[in-house]
């Protein structure tokens, strides 16, 4: 079989792209509009062409021209449409305009007609009243000519030292006669002490100060902040829900995409926040992956698909679907 091909939409800094690369894919084009994400992507993938603009402006014809392919020739169209409108961490607005970006993905899918697609999003889209949106997405993807199957996968079972659940929708073009499927768990959860062994910490470590340092001395353990202790020290609960606490003998929880004021992920020693180097380890980015700075690096990591999770998905679809199609 020839080296399988992929186009990555909503590519971000390249978490998915790295996963496909590790699984032996050749990426023909990345589509991304955020300036820092594009800058980061180009630092790490200098040989992959990037369409740096709004995906709504990209026609299927131009996309194929940039990638050097014709209709039906691409193996995989990959995409992680922005998920803030679905996220359990947000207000989960049904009519959030960000929820409609999947239609741009579906539009390109219909025009390109790749052998298959992979679409990733947060689990909030399949919970409660938001499930109707999920069913709408599935219906629209099927209308493009694909058999689809969605499944919740937790990255911690795919060699990622982080508990991070994501909905992975895999679709196979109707004429292939092969049903979509997902990879089985590949690893046991990796404890933080194992993940951070030998890490080279950044010089820009951010230390815990003020009331949070006082709280750290009384933290009873666990990932979440104890609201009663926190409020007693600070006087209010502002920032409590966004401040998490790592422990050496546990798997790290899901890293957010930002640090605001005193919020963030606290190192097990409780005297500082996690460094960017540690965050890369926890999300399965290699130590030599480049980010422009800490602030943007945290944002890029928080918005990315963990590379090792995508490597598992890409490896599965390569052997279980694409090799059987061709």
Q: Point out the catalytic residue in the list 13, 63, 83, 148.
A: 83
d(CA 25, CA 3): 6
| pLDDT tens string 14-43 | 999 999 999 999 999 999 999 999 999 999
Report the candidate in 148, 147, 170, 65 with the shortest Cα–Cα distance to residue 111.
65
pTM over 0.85: yes
Give the distance, in angstroms, between the CA of residue 21 and the centroid of all CA atoms in the same chain.
Answer: 16
Buried b or exposed e, range 109-148, using 16+ CB within 10 angstroms: bebbbbbbbbbbbbbbbbeeebeebbeebbebbeebebbb
d(CA 34, CA 46): 17
Domain-by-domain residue ranges, the chain? Answer: 5-189+303-325, 192-292
**16-30, 111-125, 225-239, range with the lowest pLDDT:** 111-125
Q: Residue 235: which region, alpha, beta or left (left: phi > 0; alpha: psi -120 to 50)?
A: left
Overall average pLDDT of the 232-258 stretch: 94
- Per-residue pLDDT at 85: 45
pLDDT of 90 above 70: no
Q: Give, in order, the Cα–Cα distances in Å from 225 to each of 212, 214, 244, 318.
A: 11, 13, 6, 42
CB 271 within 8 A of CB 219: no
- Per-residue pLDDT at 128: 64
Overall average pLDDT of the 277-285 stretch: 97
3-state SS, residue 17: helix
Name residues whose C-beta falls within 8 Å of residue 301's C-beta, 6 or more positions apart in sequence: 13, 255, 257, 279, 280, 283, 285, 291
- Per-residue pLDDT at 257: 84
Name the strands in the sheet holding 50-52, side by side, starting at the edge strand that comes first in the sequence.
50-52, 26-32, 5-9, 76-79, 116-122, 165-173, 146-154
- Per-residue pLDDT at 148: 96
Domain 5-189+303-325: give its CATH superfamily: Vaccinia Virus protein VP39 (3.40.50.150)
d(CA 323, CA 115): 11
Active site annotation includes 144? no
Q: Give, in order, the Cα–Cα distances in Å from 149 to each of 30, 167, 315.
A: 24, 10, 17
- Per-residue pLDDT at 93: 47
- DSSP secondary structure, 22-77, as one string: HTT-EEEEEEE--HHHHHHHHHH-TTS-EEES-GGG--HHHHHHHHT--TT--SEE
Token look-up 């292939």 returns 176
The neighbouring-strand residues paired with 26 are 5
Name residues whose C-beta falls within 8 Å of residue 10's C-beta, 6 or more positions apart in sequence: 31, 32, 55, 79, 80, 81, 82, 101, 105
> CB 288: neighbour CB atoms within 10 A?
7
Buried b or exposed e, range 208-244, using 16+ CB within 10 angstroms: beeebeebbeebeeeeebbeeebeeebeeeebbebbb
pLDDT of 127 above 70: no
């Amino acid at each position: 079989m020839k080296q399988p091909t992929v186009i990555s939409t909503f590519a971000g800094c390249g978490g998915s792209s790295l996963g496909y690369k590790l699984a032996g894919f050749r990426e023909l084009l990345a589509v991304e509009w955020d300036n820092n994400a594009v800058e980061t992507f180009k630092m790490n993938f200098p040989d992959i062409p990037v369409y740096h603009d709004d995906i709504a402006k990209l026609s299927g014809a131009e996309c194929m021209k940039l990638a050097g392919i014709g209709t039906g020739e691409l193996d995989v169209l990959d995409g992680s449409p922005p998920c803030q409108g679905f996220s359990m961490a947000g207000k989960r607005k049904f009519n959030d305009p960000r929820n409609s970006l999947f239609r741009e993905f579906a539009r390109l899918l219909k025009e390109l007609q790749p052998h298959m697609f992979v679409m990733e999003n947060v689990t909030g889209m399949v919970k409660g009243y938001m499930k109707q949106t999920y069913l709408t997405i599935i219906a629209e993807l099927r209308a493009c000519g694909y058999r689809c199957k969605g499944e919740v996968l937790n990255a911690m079972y795919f060699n990622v030292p982080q508990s991070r659940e994501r909905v992975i929708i895999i679709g196979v073009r109707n004429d292939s006669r092969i049903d979509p499927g997902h990879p089985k768990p590949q690893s046991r959860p990796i404890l933080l002490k194992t993940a951070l062994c030998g890490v080279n910490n950044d010089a820009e470590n951010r230390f815990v100060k003020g009331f949070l340092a006082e709280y750290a001395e009384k933290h009873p353990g666990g990932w979440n902040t104890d609201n009663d202790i926190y409020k007693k020290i600070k006087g209010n609960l502002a920032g409590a829900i966004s401040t998490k606490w790592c422990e050496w003998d546990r798997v790290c929880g899901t890293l957010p995409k930002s640090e605001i004021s005193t919020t963030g992920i606290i190192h097990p020693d409780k005297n500082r926040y996690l460094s960017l180097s540690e965050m890369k380890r926890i999300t399965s980015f290699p130590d030599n992956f480049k980010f422009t700075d800490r602030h943007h690096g945290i944002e890029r990591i928080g918005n990315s698909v963990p590379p090792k999770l995508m490597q598992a998905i890409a490896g599965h679809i390569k052997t279980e679907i694409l090799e059987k199609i061709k």
